[in-house]
């Protein structure tokens, strides 16, 4: 039960506040021990639902949200959040079912880019590069 409770609190917080909660906050919310929450993190990471910070008992990614600043800043549904990649930057308004403005840059030339999602449509054009084939995504998902 705790795994789905932890997942719920992580995503409720991310979708409401734009940030990923710490283990201690989740433990407090669930009236659970921090150790139980961290153990749930491990199981959720093994299931490829969360990505954890190296050598820390905290979340790095609750996909599409990032716990650390990235080059993909999303404003959507009243929250300001970092995404892990361009696909995830689009994933945040898709998850929130809200309009969005995404501040990023061109991966090829570095030029600043602002993309708009409005009325469930993306208002800009361009290409999104996927470096690795799907079979390799979870070999090193941070690189992916």
Partner 1 sequence: MTRGDALPLEQCWRLAQAWYGTPRTDPEWRRRTPQETRDLFAALGLTSEFWAI
Binding site for partner 1 (CB under 8 A): 4, 7-8, 11-12, 15, 47-49, 64, 86-88, 90-95, 97, 115, 117, 120-122, 124-135
Residue 17 or 47: the one with the smaller Cβ distance to partner 1 is 47
Residue 60 or 88: the one with the smaller Cβ distance to partner 1 is 88
Contact criterion met (CB below 8 Å) for 89 and 66: no
**Rounded least distance, CB 22 to partner 1, Å:** 18
Residue 55 or 121: the one with the smaller Cβ distance to partner 1 is 121
Residue 55 or 79: the one with the smaller Cβ distance to partner 1 is 79
Look at the block and give the residue holding tokens 């599409």.
64
For residue 57, what are the CA distances in angstroms to 37, 53, 60?
9, 7, 10
**Rounded least distance, CB 78 to partner 1, Å:** 16
Residues 6+ apart with CB under 8 A from 75: 100, 101, 102, 103
**Rounded least distance, CB 28 to partner 1, Å:** 18
Residue 1 or 55: the one with the smaller Cβ distance to partner 1 is 1
Closest to 92 (Cα-Cα) out of 17, 7, 15: 15
**Rounded least distance, CB 50 to partner 1, Å:** 11
Residues 6+ apart with CB under 8 A from 6: 26, 30, 37, 40, 41, 44
CA distance 98 to 118: 8
**Rounded least distance, CB 135 to partner 1, Å:** 6
């Amino acid at each position: 039960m705790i795994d789905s409770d932890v997942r719920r609190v992580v995503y409720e917080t991310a979708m409401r506040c734009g940030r990923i909660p710490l283990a201690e906050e989740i433990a407090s919310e669930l009236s659970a021990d921090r150790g139980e929450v961290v153990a749930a993190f491990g199981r959720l990471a093994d299931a490829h639902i969360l990505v954890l910070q190296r050598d820390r008992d905290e979340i790095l990614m609750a996909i599409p949200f990032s716990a650390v600043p990235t080059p993909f800043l999303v404003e959507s549904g009243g929250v300001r959040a970092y995404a892990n990649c361009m696909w995830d930057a689009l994933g945040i308004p898709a998850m929130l079912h809200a309009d969005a403005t995404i501040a990023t840059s061109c991966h090829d030339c570095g030029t600043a880019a602002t993309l708009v999602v409005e009325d469930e449509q993306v208002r800009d054009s361009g290409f999104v590069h996927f470096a690795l084939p799907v079979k390799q995504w979870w070999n090193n998902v941070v690189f992916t």
